[in-house]
Structure 1
Amino acid sequence: MIRRPVMHKKLNPFRILRYAVLVFMTFITLYPLFWIGLCSLKSSEEIYGSPFGIPRQPEWENYAEAWQVADIPVHLLNSILYAAAAVTVVVILSAMSAYIIAKVWKNRGLYHYYSLGIMIPINAIIIPFILIFRRVGILNTRVGVILAFIVTNLAFSIFILVPFMMGLPDELEDAARIDGCNRLQTFLKIMLPLSKAGLATVGTFVLINCWNDLFLSLLIISRQNLITLNQVCYNMRSQYAADYGLITATVMIMVIPVIICYAMFQKQIVKGMTAGSIKG
């Protein structure tokens, strides 16, 4: 029997460095969440005594207390309502706009014009933003929050979807037109099903942005029955400043839905981002 020589791969220092950087970035990204999870299972005394240690006995009562003290069901429902409404409207409007720009007008200038919306931070226009909301009468209302989320996420969503739809073959539209489809039917039956990955990417990003928002929510709503989970966590820092177990348990309740959502749509997000970048 002839023994084949064993090929040993040479260690690539650049590859080692790359993986080391990735591991380090993963650690510094996930460790704060891990630490908050540990603190949410400790009493305040244990957090002060051993802030980075493993809980001696998990304090699940922190979650039950946070659920009652922070009135989590009401504010959780508010956050879900605002995010779901904004995601629905943004996905519909951005898909229609992207289709018009990419396939009907085929106007890259208009695409770049929409892209300018990403470069303007909301902080720069917040004063006229609030003045308009007050003049219209939607300040401190649910409609105001949802509309603010839609406005601030629409430009980015169009920016993501236009390159994706530009990559879809024009022959598909021609074939649909030959089969008797009008423009709306072509959009609904051909373009939307083929853009599922891009739509999932947009929907997930908008959901995360809306769920994590604090700046706009603080400026637009102040009524206790309308505020979001983020505002609840922000308000608890003064009333329950010393009770870190309660605060971190509230934070974990707020973070868990986002983690679940991202885990469910992770493949679609990666596929949509890579497909859009390649086709654009």
Structure 2
Amino acid sequence: MKKLMMYAGLALLMAFTLAPFLSTLTTSLSTNQDIISGANRFFPTHATFANFNKAIMGQAALSGFVSSMINSLIVAAVTTILCLLFGALGAYAFARLNFRFRDSFVLLVLVTQMIPGIAVLIPIYVIFRQMGLLDTKTSIIMAQMAFNLPFIIWIMRSFFSSIPKDLEEAAFIDGLGRFGALFRIILPISTPGLFATGVFAFMNSWNDFLTPLVLTSSQVAKTMPVAINEFLGRFTVDYGLLAAAGFIGIIPPILIILFFQRYLIEGLTAGAVK
């Protein structure tokens, strides 16, 4: 009975978690008539791939949806890589180096996470306008790095602090310097933290809507969430096209997580001795 209740609870949790995705898929495979009438409540009455065709090769493609997907991939990938690089260096400095006001700086980094992003978007817009970086992927990457770095530094600092200093001291005795110990000893052991924070940075960048909306005005740097928002008409809404574009936007993060799942497990099971 205990096992039965456990599996029933897990099934309920999975149903609650997957319901939005299944609803999006059902809507994307339905016609607007079925959506408005409510005929596709659970399964599409007249399944069609016309909405996906419009998103990839038709109406939405002409409005720049495909190019916005490419922009989102570039922005999210570069943001994640740079955040992990600079975040690891900053976190290692806070965890291992002794300098004045270290703890105060750590708290200051955490305080920046308490400031709503919308409160600083206007100053960011003014700064990038003066620098001539508006409507570029560079401005979006820099802004998203500013939002993601404090969290990554805070989390990675905890991982680095949990690693025994004896490993670094042994590396120093063997001739490695500070950077050598970081990149050859500390980072491989901190694989779970790197992937966890990397997924966090990627998902934040991929799903970010407000920052690209404020900093871009053309298809040159417009990202996927902004492009999907533009499918909303003034008087009508193509729900099937919106759902199809949204479902396509879900696929890359799912593939990335599935691809790195094995490395996450390996990182969790690998120890310092191994």
Normalising by structure 1, report the TM-score.
0.84
Q: 1:171 deviation in Å?
A: 0.3
Measured against aligned partners, the alpha-carbon deviations of 1:231-265 in whole angstroms (never above 9, x if no partner) come to 11100012694322111111101111122223334
Which amino acid counterpart does residue 65 of structure 1 have in structure 2? Answer: K
Corresponding residue of 2:94 = 101
Corresponding residue of 2:66 = 73
1:198/1:269 contact within 8 Å kept: no
1:94/1:158 contact within 8 Å kept: yes
Corresponding residue of 2:81 = 88
CA 1:138–1:132 in 2, change beyond 3 Å: closer, same or farther? same
CA 1:241–1:157 in 2, change beyond 3 Å: closer, same or farther? farther
For structure 2, the residue ranges without an aligned partner over 5 or more in a row are 269-274
| Counterparts of 1:63 and 1:243, CA distance in 2 | 12
CA 1:86–1:240 in 2, change beyond 3 Å: closer, same or farther? farther
CA 1:271–1:121 in 2, change beyond 3 Å: closer, same or farther? farther
| Counterparts of 1:268 and 1:102, CA distance in 2 | 25
Q: 1:24 deviation in Å?
A: 5.3
| Counterparts of 1:113 and 1:162, CA distance in 2 | 14
Corresponding residue of 2:253 = 258
CA 1:156–1:272 in 2, change beyond 3 Å: closer, same or farther? farther
Which amino acid counterpart does residue 87 of structure 2 have in structure 1? Answer: S
Q: 1:34 deviation in Å?
A: 1.1
Measured against aligned partners, the alpha-carbon deviations of 1:38-72 in whole angstroms (never above 9, x if no partner) come to 01111111212214131234211221111122223
For structure 1, the residue ranges without an aligned partner over 5 or more in a row are 1-8, 274-280
| Counterparts of 2:265 and 2:224, CA distance in 1 | 28
| Counterparts of 2:190 and 2:198, CA distance in 1 | 12
Q: Is 2:31 aligned against 1:43?
A: yes
| Counterparts of 1:35 and 1:105, CA distance in 2 | 53
| Counterparts of 1:60 and 1:237, CA distance in 2 | 20
Alignment coverage as a number of residue pairs? 261
Normalising by structure 2, report the TM-score.
0.86
Q: Is 2:156 aligned against 1:161?
A: yes
* Root-mean-square deviation (Å): 2.6
CA 1:140–1:105 in 2, change beyond 3 Å: closer, same or farther? same
| Counterparts of 1:179 and 1:228, CA distance in 2 | 48
Identity %: 29
Q: 1:133 deviation in Å?
A: 1.5
- Structure of higher CA gyration radius: 1
